[in-house]
Structure formats: C-alpha cells, structure tokens
Amino acid sequence: MNNPVQEPMAPLHAEALDADAAARMLWTHREAGQALQALPPALRPADRAAGHAIQARLPAVTGRSVVGWKIAATSLAGQAHIGVSGPLAGRVLSGLVDGDGDTVSLSGNRMCVAEPEFAFRLGQRLAPRAQAYSVAEVLDAVDALLPSIEVPNSRFADFARAGEPQLIADDACAHRFTIGAPAPSTWRDLDLRTHRVRATVTRSDGTVKTVREGDGSAVLGDPRDALTWLVNELSGLGIALEPGQFVSTGTCMVPVEVEAGDQVEVDYGVLGRLGVRFGL
C-alpha cells in the first residue's frame, strides 16, 4: 500500500502556536549569528497577531528584560524593501544597548548597516487603554530625547522575503542600539520633521567612506508621530510602556552601509553627537 502524501503544514495562528519554541529557535540563531531560511511550518506565524505572540515570549525564554522598543520600516521605501504593509514594533532587550564610542561586532550580521534615529525616553507609564493617545499626551510622558544609532539584523537569510508575521516574530530585526546622552531640553521647541542629521562613515585608515544626511520627515513624517504610533500599537496589544524605557523611532536617512573596521559618527546638531565602531 502506498503511503498517503502529507500536505505541508500551513502557518499557524496565535492560539495554535508554540510561541515559546518559536521564540527560542529565533533567539538561538540570534545568539549564534546563524541564518534561518524560515521558521518550520509548525512554528511559523500566519499573521501579525501570531508574530507578536512569539515576540512577546522573547523576554521569558532569554531571561532578559525589556529596556526599550524600536520601530522598523517607518518609511515607504523601508516598507517596500522588506515587503511589509506598515511599521513594525520590536522589543529592545537588556544587554543589547551600547554607549557612545563602543565597538559593535558585525559577526553574523546580514544587514551590515547603521541607522541614525531619534529615541525618546519615558518618564511616565503609558498604560493600554481603549482611546488612542494623542501626540501631546505621549510627549507629556517623555523625559528626554536621546540621539541613537540602531544596528539591525535579521535571523532570516532572505529577510526581504520573510514576510510580516515572521519579521515581527524576529523582533522587527532588532539587534543592537547605541544610545547617546540626553539632548538639551530645548528639543521640544524644534521642528523635528526638518531637523537635519549627518552620518559620516570612516574607514580604519581614517579615510572618509560615506557622508549621508537626512531629517525627521523620513520617520513616518515626524519622529513624534512615530513615537505615538508605537504607543498606540502597544496599547492595542495590551502592553504598557514603562518609565525608563526608550523608543527608537526608525532611521532618519537611508541606512549607511558598514563593515568591520569602520567608524560611524552621527551629528545631530544642537541635539548632540555620538559614534560607534564596528568589529568582527
């Protein structure tokens, strides 16, 4: 008798998913710098809700706390590049934040880019609620603007085709973040949409490799709007933002390509400067 042909298992919705096992697999590959073609069908999320269910298990399976949040794909170009319909929220876990001048390894990094971003640190808790938060309400809860540089990565070999649910499960391509000193409080008087930011990439021999500029309009039109989007996205998922957590709102320019030996310096004008080096 011939054995019946088994149909491939379809991606699963949140209620049928072993979110712990999926999160553990993603984290194991993240720690090892190894690539996945895709999550196995039995662990693959079918929709955004299932992707969020996996991502939500990352703190438990890693033993790390959530120190911040990130937004991926805050520009139309970024959304098109990774094939998503809108921005994606991700967690920043403890132990993944660097300081000005630190060295970040690019081992296992398939993206190899640095993304200058506006980050905001919360001073007050923003609890989930039925009514959407306004920009003014969110800004009232912010106690500092922090210049930042995200160094993203994906656990998927072809992250541009992994799809929204898997990218959300993969923590929205979160990897490492360099956070600068708080900007002067006068940031509140600035129009962040038009505030210029310049990134300079220098090779190990001191020669300038890349100079690139951007502004806050690349971040959902305004970094403050992006921050408010994140707050309301989490509110809809029943998640609070806590005092001391930061939100990095997405790159304000086309990401700058980097390789081991490079140094990136980002000038935020009156808001400050910060830099990061890259190693193997």
Structurally, the chain folds into a number of domains equal to: 1
Within-domain flag for 261: no
Within-domain flag for 265: no
Q: What is the pLDDT of residue 18?
A: 95
Q: What is the pLDDT of residues 182-223, one digit of tens each?
A: 999 999 999 999 999 999 999 999 999 999 999 999 999 999
Q: What is the pLDDT of residues 46-96, one digit of tens each?
A: 999 999 999 999 999 999 999 999 999 998 889 998 999 999 999 999 999
In our burial notation (b when 16+ CB lie closer than 10 A, e otherwise), range 18-28 reads ebebbbbbbbe
- pLDDT over 90 for what percent of the chain? 91
Q: What is the pLDDT of residue 1?
A: 38
Q: What is the pLDDT of residue 77?
A: 87
Q: What is the pLDDT of residue 2?
A: 42
Within-domain flag for 278: no
Query: Distance between the two ends of the chain, CA-based, in angstroms?
Result: 55
Band the pLDDT of 8: cuts 50, 70, 90. Answer: very low
Q: What is the pLDDT of residue 7?
A: 36
Within-domain flag for 136: yes
The sign of the CA dihedral 114, 252, 254, 78 is positive
Within-domain flag for 28: yes
Within-domain flag for 191: no
Torsions phi, psi for 46 (to 5 deg): -90, -20
Q: What is the pLDDT of residues 132-162, one digit of tens each?
A: 999 999 999 999 999 999 999 999 999 999 9
Q: What is the pLDDT of residue 113?
A: 98
1 CB-contact burial (10 Å; exposed 0-12 / middle 13-18 / buried 19+): exposed
Band the pLDDT of 17: cuts 50, 70, 90. Answer: confident
Q: What is the CATH number of the domain that holds 89?
A: 3.90.850.10
Domain that holds residue 132: 14-183+217-254
Q: What is the pLDDT of residues 89-120, one digit of tens each?
A: 999 999 999 999 999 999 999 999 999 999 99
> Is the distance from CB of 85 to CB of 51 less than 8 angstroms?
no
Q: What is the pLDDT of residue 268?
A: 98
Question: 77 or 267, which is more confident?
Answer: 267
